[in-house]
Structure 1
Amino acid sequence: MEFEQLRAYLMAKAGATEEQPFGPDVLVYKVMGKIFALLFWREEPLRLNLKCDPLEALALRQQYAAVLPGYHMNKRHWNTLVLDGTLPEAEVWGQIDQSYALVVQGLTRAQRRQL
């Protein structure tokens, strides 16, 4: 999975912004000020932190060696995906979509209407 392809997909989400509050090594993607993804873009292979349903987070960690508890995040609600080519691309895209949806779901009704 290529960096630019991943970055474009993250930025294509409605209301998505890209910031670097933790320094130049981590790109933080937010919607309405809430984080839905962190991309460790200088890592080889790339690493991506995504929000996840707690039960699904555990299941994914058991299913894929490249899915780890969220690095520097709440391990119950976040996973780190190591993009080493062993995860199916469809799974990565689906996890990005789910992370975004979980964050949007937590927004106020007024914020969701703004999107």
Structure 2
Amino acid sequence: MCVGVRRPANPFQLQGQAVPFVSSFRYLGVVFHSSGRWREHAEHLCCRGQRRFYQFLAWSENRQLHTGFRESLLTSCVLPSVLFGSEFLDVAPPLARASLLRMRAI
């Protein structure tokens, strides 16, 4: 994938085969688009957040939880996953999480 309007005249080759150009590419959970737009990534995050929300609804209905408990679960678990793309459920080691938090604070 080449970002921008210009493409190289000679195609890239890997082990003698031309590497195809793609309009979008997913890397580490982020969808990159050749035009530099983030629409596909935003749509992906919205779909993931909706999926998490409806999973929560089905799970809480199945267990017949009280409304107050549902609200506290929604604000502590589901809402952050919708807003931050499930980053808080990441399985990264604690040291990596701490360094990420320090980088975000800067």
TM-score by length of 1: 0.25
Structure in which a larger fraction of residues adopt strand: 1
Q: Which has the higher contact order (CA 8 A, sep 6+)?
A: 1
Structure in which a larger fraction of residues adopt helix: 2
Rg larger in structure:
2
